[in-house]
Amino acid sequence: MPSENQKTMENVKITIKTKKVPFFIKKMMEDKELVKSFHRGEISKEQLDAKKIRFITPI
């Protein structure tokens, strides 16, 4: 459960103590590593697609 909750107008900070890394954080970190590997030419676009990694363009 949150042990700290400091609220200002635009910023909220919460600290959570948990024994395991949350699932979505673990998956996001894995996705990031795969994307880095792709940009460095270590894996192909097809391998990224196979992992169902998609991008949203900012512009």
What is the binding site for other proteins (CB under 8 A)? 2, 9-25, 27-29, 31-32, 35-36, 39-40, 52-59
Minimum Å gap between C-beta 33 and other proteins is 9
Compute the distance between CA of residue 5 and CA of residue 32 in angstroms, rounded to an integer.
28
Task: Give the C-alpha separation, 2 to 17, whole Å.
Answer: 8
Minimum separation from the CB atom of position 43 to other proteins (A): 13
Smallest distance from other proteins to CB 49, Å? 12
